[in-house]
């Protein structure tokens, strides 16, 4: 099993007048204002080398207008939701100056998707303690951080008296024996290893920080709960409301976990057992939130005519249309009225997960089914070979999932949608088209960017957004109709 260092919390500046940055990337102060652009370039170069695998230009020294440099700046801007110009504007420099995690944003996570413990009862032990808090306070906060995940899942955590515990918790400084040294106050706060033998799950806190049980200093409960998420196999989220968002925030609501965090931990592990009211305590139910139906609240049969019916992925495959929701599948033959349905494994035994996106390339007679950072190839009625990494299509390494995909027969392009951006993949040359990603709203006016699924039929793209389906004229670039998702199943 692979083990890797996962990302940590970093400090978000909350107090006026405070200015702390990770030592590695603190720009040298210059007395002359004219030196500032050069300082910014030096900062950006170091930042992109460390986090985005920037390589030296083939000929000559690094220039801010060089193609390699500009490409990496764009990657960074897209990752942080900035305007992807490739130019070192003030917003980009400000992000680069912000304290953050030391793990590269382009770190390959593809081989780690789905990494989890093969048991639901895990042991932990606290080795070295911090001097900032009494031992019994540290014990209580660490136990509370584990309880955050226990209350939201079927996991249980038991404190162990031996060093053979699954998760070893240590407060250490600088070089501490794992090849990932800490950097002193206000830089990297903590890090954790993903599930696995040896150091797998081990979680280290930088004891050069000032650890507290309050909002002043660095709140141990908030950081520990985040790091234990990594120790359980979760990756970072781009959602600022998520506990797994990489930036540290001292002020949080009493509910540390977002809906996304709850869904992700239960997708990785078995559904909630013994906590049936957890989602209702969050004000959620399977009736008003499609995330919580199916895989989290299993049903033997799904009501295809429910008014709030949604799909995770829709694709034509041969002479049929496939509708995926959680781990469930409906198959509607284009020339027949009957619909086959059941768990995906009934039809494709090799696929034991939900499907996030799917598309069909007729000239290859092949369908591609995507789950997070992996995809399967389906030909005929058979899944061919093992799942492959999504990076096969040429995505930057930070892309670990997509919301929807659709192949346009007329252009030979496959479009991949993620959040508010999309990519265009040339199926003939098998490369990403130049200049992507682009914003969905700019090229698909009238389409809500929360796209759940998409399918191409007879010159139209049908965008599934919750229970609504937008019929989009690809030639005229406009929405020409709105339907209900359940009408596609004959309702």
Q: Is 50 annotated as a binding residue?
A: no
Q: Is 326 annotated as a binding residue?
A: no
Cis peptide before 380 (omega within 30 of 0): no
* CA 14/CA 59 separation, integer angstroms: 43
Q: Is 191 annotated as a binding residue?
A: yes
- Are 88 and 97 in contact by the 8 Å Cβ rule? The answer is no
* CA 462/CA 148 separation, integer angstroms: 40
Q: Is 226 annotated as a binding residue?
A: yes
Which residues are marked as active site? 227
* CA 79/CA 94 separation, integer angstroms: 14
Q: Is 357 annotated as a binding residue?
A: no
Q: Is 176 annotated as a binding residue?
A: yes
User: Distance between alpha carbon 381 and the CA centroid of its chain, in Å?
Assistant: 30
* CA 340/CA 170 separation, integer angstroms: 53
Map tokens 């030592």 to a residue. 23
Q: Is 202 annotated as a binding residue?
A: yes
In 3D space, the residue among 179, 184, 251, 187 whose CA is nearest the CA of residue 221 turns out to be: 251
* CA 205/CA 105 separation, integer angstroms: 21
Q: Is 183 annotated as a binding residue?
A: yes
Secondary structure in 3-state letters for 115-173: CCCCCCEEEEEECCCCCCCCHHHHHHHHHHHHHHHHHCCCCEEEECCCCCCCEEEEEEC
Both tokens of 28, joined, read 């040298």
* CA 106/CA 336 separation, integer angstroms: 47
* CA 356/CA 375 separation, integer angstroms: 10
- Are 330 and 339 in contact by the 8 Å Cβ rule? The answer is yes
CA distance readout (Å), 198 to 168, 177, 261, 382: 10, 13, 26, 38
For residue 34, the SS3 value is helix
* CA 304/CA 490 separation, integer angstroms: 9
Q: Is 309 annotated as a binding residue?
A: no
* CA 361/CA 91 separation, integer angstroms: 40
According to DSSP, residue 185 is labeled: T
* CA 54/CA 342 separation, integer angstroms: 47
Q: Is 405 annotated as a binding residue?
A: yes
Q: Cα-flanking dihedrals φ and ψ of residue 141, to 5°?
A: -70, -40
Q: Is 407 annotated as a binding residue?
A: no
In 3D space, the residue among 290, 328, 286 whose CA is nearest the CA of residue 309 turns out to be: 290
Q: Which residues, listed in sequence order, are joined to residue 10 by a DSSP beta bridge?
A: 247
Which segments are annotated as binding site for Zn(2+)? 101, 176, 178, 191, 204, 226, 230, 236, 244
Which residues are documented as binding site? Answer: 101, 132, 166, 176, 178, 183-184, 191, 200, 202, 204, 206-207, 209, 226, 230, 236, 244, 312, 356, 358, 405
Positions at the binding site for Ca(2+): 132, 166, 183-184, 200, 202, 206-207, 209, 312, 356, 358, 405
């Amino acid at each position: 099993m692979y083990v890797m260092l996962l990302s940590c919390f970093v400090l978000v500046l909350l107090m006026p007048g405070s200015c702390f940055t990770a030592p590695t990337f603190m720009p040298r102060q210059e007395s002359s204002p004219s030196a500032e652009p050069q300082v910014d370039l030096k900062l950006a170069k170091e930042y992109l080398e460390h986090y985005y695998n920037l390589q030296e230009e083939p000929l000559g020294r690094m220039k801010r207008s060089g193609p390699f440099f500009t490409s990496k700046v764009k990657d960074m801007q897209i990752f942080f939701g900035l305007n992807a110009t490739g130019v070192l504007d003030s917003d980009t420099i400000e992000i680069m100056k912000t304290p953050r995690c030391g793990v590269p944003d382009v770190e390959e996570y593809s081989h780690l998707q789905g990494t989890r413990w093969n048991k639901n009862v895990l042991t932990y032990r606290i080795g070295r303690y911090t001097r900032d808090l009494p031992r019994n306070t540290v014990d209580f906060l660490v136990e509370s951080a584990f309880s955050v995940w226990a209350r939201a899942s079927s996991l249980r955590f038991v404190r162990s008296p031996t060093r053979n515990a699954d998760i070893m918790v240590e407060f250490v400084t600088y070089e501490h024996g794992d090849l990932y040294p800490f950097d002193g106050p206000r830089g990297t706060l903590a890090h954790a290893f993903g599930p696995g033998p040896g150091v797998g799950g081990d979680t280290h806190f930088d004891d050069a920080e000032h650890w507290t049980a309050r909002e002043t200093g660095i709140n141990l409960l908030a950081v520990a709960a985040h790091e234990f998420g990594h120790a359980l196999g979760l990756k970072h989220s781009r959602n600022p409301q998520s506990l797994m968002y990489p930036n540290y925030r001292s002020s949080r609501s009493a509910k540390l976990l977002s809906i996304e965090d709850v869904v992700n931990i239960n997708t990785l592990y078995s559904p909630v057992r013994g906590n049936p009211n957890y989602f209702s305590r969050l004000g959620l139910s399977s009736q008003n939130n499609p995330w919580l139906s199916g895989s989290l609240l299993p049903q033997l049969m799904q009501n295809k005519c429910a008014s709030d019916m949604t799909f995770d992925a829709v694709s034509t495959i041969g002479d049929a249309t496939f509708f995926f929701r959680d781990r469930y599948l409906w198959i509607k033959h284009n020339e027949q009225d009957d619909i086959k349905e059941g768990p995906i494994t009934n039809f494709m035994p090799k696929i034991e997960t939900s499907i996030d996106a799917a598309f069909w390339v007729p000239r290859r007679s092949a369908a591609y089914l995507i789950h997070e950072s992996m995809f399967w190839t389906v030909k005929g009625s058979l899944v061919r070979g093992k799942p492959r990494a999504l990076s096969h299509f040429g995505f930057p390494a930070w892309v670990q999932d997509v919301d929807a995909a659709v192949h346009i027969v007329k252009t030979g392009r496959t479009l991949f949608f993620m959040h508010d951006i999309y990519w265009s993949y040339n199926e003939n040359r098998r490369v990403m088209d130049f200049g992507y990603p682009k914003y969905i709203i700019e090229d698909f006016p009238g389409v809500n960017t929360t796209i759940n699924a998409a399918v191409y039929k007879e010159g139209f793209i049908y965008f599934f957004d919750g229970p609504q389906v937008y019929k989009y004229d690809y030639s005229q670039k406009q929405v020409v109709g709105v339907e209900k998702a359940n009408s596609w199943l004959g309702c």
